[in-house]
Amino acid sequence: MTESPTRAALREAARPPFLVGALAVGVFVVWAARDAGFAATTWYPGALFLLGLLAVVLAAYPPARRGIPPSTLVAIAFLAGFAAWSAASIAWSDAQGTAWEGANRTLLYLIVYALFAVVPWRRASIVPLLTSFSVGVAAIGVIEVARAAYGGDPSRFFIYGRLDAPAGYPNAACALYVLAAWPAAYAAVRREVTPLVRGAAMAIATVLAELAVLTESRASLIAVPIAVLVYLALVPARLRALLSVLVVGGTIAAAQGPLLAPYSPLTHRLDATSELHDAVTAIAISAAAVMLAWTAFALVDRRVHIHERFARTFADGALGVGVAAALVVAVVFLSGSPGRRIQHAWHDFRSGYRSPTSASSHFSSGLGNNRYDFWRVALQEFRDHPVAGVGADNFAEDYLAARKSSEEPLYPHSLELRVLAQTGLVGAALFAGFVCAAIVAAAGRFRSRDVVAGVTRAGLAATAYWAIHGSIDWFWEFPGLTAPALAWLGIAGAWRDSGASRAVEGVRFRRVTPVVGTLVAAALAASFALPWWSAALQNRAARTWRSSPASAFHDLHRARQLNPLSPDPDLIEGAIASRLDQLGRMRRAFRRALGRDDHLWYAHFELAVAEAATGRRRSALALLEQARLLDPRETTIRTVRSLVLARKPVDRAAIDRLFLERVRGRIGR
């Protein structure tokens, strides 16, 4: 009996090394579901798994050892250099524990890019790999919104009226949905795909776009249109690709009312049950309608053929019209008092956040935010340390000392400024070399025009979107976003038109002995495992200290030994000791924390509180002054100082409650 073409294609797609990619994409989906992988206890185990996967592939899968195309090898070398430089920056960082975590995150991205770049993927495997991520993210998003609508507590999923699930941060949630949409949207327009799958793919792309609307990310209003132009410029069959954009955009326009409705009641802390139900209904109805309509279109599309030259000419013309329209808008803007408009927009951008209840939608709340202040401090870091930078992920302490806003960001909200400020010109050159080499490696995909090449280029468009939006946000810190973006870039430079074979001119690794590879893998594994174990022990101590304080303190002691660079175990121990009124332990813990990082205003502050409670008034005032220098805008320092000067007791429990409420109110920006 003859096997059906569909079954034969699936069988071919599932042949080795498909399982490698499926396992890696599975890790990405798990990260996506868990705050986009932000927490160390989430991404470290995934990093260890991917490291093991890469080691197994290189050791046990012969095609992966046949050689790597030179451009791909150069890209890997540059990214490895950037990761090594990030690790070296631990030596000159003020917050060395933070720098270690930042370097480890960069090493993770090196592993991801290398894994997807060195594996000789089969052509039939590319589309299932990329679109499976789309399916997984769409499923996660639908479940999260349904839980918000029917679970009774939407505040667990929305912040200031904006969907923040599953990333825990609305802009990152938006980026996750948009990142996942591109491959599905392109797969839906190709005739080679079966009609039912095309309908499902278009419905998935639509759902992802609608979920992104619920996040109300203002930056997406700029990043997505630019990414659409990149998408249309990269993919083959542009006329078909344009159809996917029109279908998704038209559906969003039709459903925008229910999608934007939850914002107002949620920001006013009113009951939004009805609005959330309407939003879920709108997503469900639009997805079903798109699937049915697009499946029917696909059936007709199989029988109607448009001449390729005409389609290409029409698509090029449409792209040209789009560019021309953008130019017309620019001309109109420039002809109508542009200086005043630009001045107003610039003032709005620098003015900070408006009240979240002052607009009917976050999209219409203006340009105000604190990024200008973040970038000002990041540029100052670069000016002060232009060659080597201040160290990986070392931003928070410098910002507190120089800030003009009330926010306390951990990162500078810009990929470019992160690279410049934290790794200097050396790191910037290495990262730029990686980007250029990776683009050259991926450019080989432009020789083909079939569905595989198209979906691969759609993946590149997703990577471009991540880079565009990440230029004004902190997406690098979310492995659930950055890992798939770099994976799609890597996979574009990995496969060749000949299927699973490798280029004969590729560089071979016969000189790299198994011993060296084993040592490198062991070092990376230790670098991941030790801080992961430490973070896990810290989390357990934070959960169990009320019922078993002795066990919690023992866990923190072990955590301190496992991660000798981080002050976090001592900060947690000091906070617990304060709650238990163990002032001696509290003082010792915060002194140890300052021994690891003396730029921590909080440790100085809490130690001052402990000193005041034990009658050491002069020491307390000196510590409070040091805390003030490290964070001049922290009002609690002045409050406690006035109490110490007046010889009045300091209510430690009230201070703890104040900090907790502040943290809760700070999320979502």
pLDDT in the model for residue 369: 87
Same domain membership, residue 570 and residue 450: no
Q: CB-based contacts of 351: which residues, under 8 Å, 6+ apart?
A: 368
Same domain membership, residue 536 and residue 430: no
Q: Which among 352, 344, 346 is positioned nearest to 368, based on CA atoms? A: 352
Q: Which among 595, 526, 525, 587 is positioned nearest to 560, based on CA atoms? A: 595
235: left (phi over 0), alpha (psi -120 to 50) or beta: beta
**CA 112 vs CA 31, 34, 136: distances in Å:** 14, 18, 19
pLDDT in the model for residue 365: 77
Q: Which among 119, 169, 24 is positioned nearest to 496, based on CA atoms? A: 119
Task: Identify whether 480 is part of a domain.
Answer: yes
CA dist., res. 625 & res. 613, Å (int) = 17
Same domain membership, residue 195 and residue 265: yes
Answer whether residue 357 shows pLDDT above 70: no
Tens-digit pLDDT profile for residues 549-565: 999 999 999 999 999 99
Instruction: For residue 590, name the pLDDT band (cuts at 50, 70, 90).
Output: very high
pLDDT in the model for residue 667: 44
pLDDT in the model for residue 441: 94
Please state the pTM of the whole predicted model: 0.92
pLDDT in the model for residue 503: 43
The count of domains in the chain is 2
Task: Identify whether 421 is part of a domain.
Answer: yes
Instruction: For residue 362, name the pLDDT band (cuts at 50, 70, 90).
Output: confident
Answer whether residue 370 shows pLDDT above 80: yes
SS3 call for 405: coil
Task: Identify whether 315 is part of a domain.
Answer: no
Q: Do residues 69 and 506 touch, judged by C-beta distance below 8 A?
A: yes
The CA-based dihedral angle spanning residues 341, 342, 345, 350, taken in that order and rounded to the nearest 10 degrees: -150
Q: Do residues 111 and 245 touch, judged by C-beta distance below 8 A?
A: no
pLDDT in the model for residue 285: 98
Tokens matching residue 427: 């790191």
* Residue that is last in its domain, among 457, 492, 527: 492
Same domain membership, residue 607 and residue 472: no
Q: What is the mean pLDDT of residues 20-42?
A: 98
Answer whether residue 536 shows pLDDT above 80: yes
The domain in which residue 541 lies consists of: 515-666
pLDDT in the model for residue 97: 98
pLDDT in the model for residue 44: 99
CA dist., res. 166 & res. 159, Å (int) = 12
Same domain membership, residue 422 and residue 475: yes
Same domain membership, residue 261 and residue 175: yes
Answer whether residue 497 shows pLDDT above 50: no
Same domain membership, residue 521 and residue 407: no
Q: What is the mean pLDDT of residues 458-475?
A: 98
pLDDT in the model for residue 391: 98
> How many residues are given for the chain?
669
Tens-digit pLDDT profile for residues 35-44: 999 999 999 9
Q: What is the CATH number of the domain that holds 648?
A: 1.25.40.10
Instruction: For residue 215, name the pLDDT band (cuts at 50, 70, 90).
Output: very high
Tokens matching residue 335: 């002809």
Instruction: For residue 178, name the pLDDT band (cuts at 50, 70, 90).
Output: very high
pLDDT in the model for residue 663: 57
Task: Identify whether 330 is part of a domain.
Answer: no
Tens-digit pLDDT profile for residues 230-281: 999 999 999 999 999 999 999 999 999 999 999 999 999 999 999 999 999 9
Answer whether residue 504 shows pLDDT above 70: no
Q: Do residues 70 and 507 touch, judged by C-beta distance below 8 A?
A: yes
